[in-house]
Structure 1
C-alpha cells in the first residue's frame, strides 16, 4: 500500500473570480485545466482548488454551516523568518486579512496567521527543526 497523500485541497469560495485574482496576486499559477466553475492552482506536490461554496456543499451532499472559526488551517513552511515575512507581506498586498503578525512561537519557530477573502486560515511558518527535500517538500522523519 502506498503512503497516504493529499493531492488536492479544495476551498469553497463565495466569489470564484475574486478568489482566483487573490491567489494569483499572491503568486499561485492557475492550470489550463481551470474553467468558469473551478480553478486549479499549482502548488508543488499538491494542488489547491477553488470551487463555489454552494456548489461544493451540494456536490458533497453537505449542509453549509459556517461556524465563524473553521477549525482548519493551511500552512506554508518557509526556510527562514525573512521568507515568512516576505510571503506574509505579499498575501496582505493581495488582499489577505491579518490575524496574527509573524512572531516568535512558543514551539521554537516563527509564524503568523492570515485569512483569505473567504476566511480560510493560512499559517506561514519557519520551523528550524524541519528540513526540505530536493523538491522543496517537507521531509519529516519516520
Structure 2
C-alpha cells in the first residue's frame, strides 16, 4: 500500500452551512457539489476534502458516535509565516468559525492557533519552522 492519503471525509450535519463556511466564507473552490449529499474540494495536489451529509455517511459507513467534547483529531493548514497564521485565523473568524483560539508560541518552536468549523471539527493553523513543517508547504 502506498504511503499517502487521498481523501479526508467529514460527516456534516448541514451541508449548506458547510458550503457557506468553506466556499463563501473561506473562499475555497468546490470541485464537486451534489446538493444535500456531498461537497468535494481539492485541497492539495493529491488530496480532497469531502464534506458528506451525515445521513448518507451513516448509511454507508455506520452510526456516528456522539457525545460531549471534540472529535479526537485535527486537520492542519500550514503556512510559511507567523503573520499568515494570524491572517488565516482572522479569515476563519470572519467566515463564522467558532471557536477561534488566538495563536501562541508552542514549546516545539512553532506558532499555532485553532478554529472550529460549523460541525466543530478543529483546524490547526500552523507555522512550523522544522523540516517536516516546511516540507508540507506548497
When the two structures are superposed, what TM-score results if normalisation uses the length of structure 1? 0.86
Q: Which runs of 5+ in 1 are unaligned?
A: 137-142
- Alignment partner, residue 140 of structure 1: none
CA distance in 2, matches of 1:49, 1:64: 16
Q: Is 1:131 aligned to 2:134, yes or no?
A: yes
How far 1:75 moved relative to its partner?
Answer: 0.4
TM superposition outliers: structure 1 runs of 4+ over 6 Å: none
Contact 1:54 1:64 in 2 (8 A): no
RMSD: 1.6
Contact 1:14 1:53 in 2 (8 A): yes
Greater Cα offset, 75-84 or 93-102: 93-102
Q: State the SS of the aligned residue for 2:125.
A: strand
How far 1:16 moved relative to its partner?
Answer: 0.4
CA distance in 1, matches of 2:110, 2:126: 7
Q: Is 1:113 aligned to 2:106, yes or no?
A: no
Q: Which runs of 5+ in 2 are unaligned?
A: none
CA distance in 2, matches of 1:5, 1:113: 24
Q: If each structure's helix is expressed as a fraction of its own residues, which one has the higher value?
A: 2
Structure 2 counterparts to residues 1-142 of structure 1, below 5 A: 3-24=2-23, 25-31=25-31, 33-36=32-35, 37-45=37-45, 46-60=47-61, 62-67=62-67, 68-129=69-130, 130-132=133-135, 136=138
Q: State the SS of the aligned residue for 1:95.
A: coil
CA distance in 1, matches of 2:20, 2:63: 27
Q: State the SS of the aligned residue for 1:79.
A: coil
When the two structures are superposed, what TM-score results if normalisation uses the length of structure 2? 0.88
How far 1:64 moved relative to its partner?
Answer: 1.7
Q: State the SS of the aligned residue for 1:112.
A: strand
Q: Deviations over 1:56-92 (max 9, x none)?
A: 12211x2222232210100011101001111111011
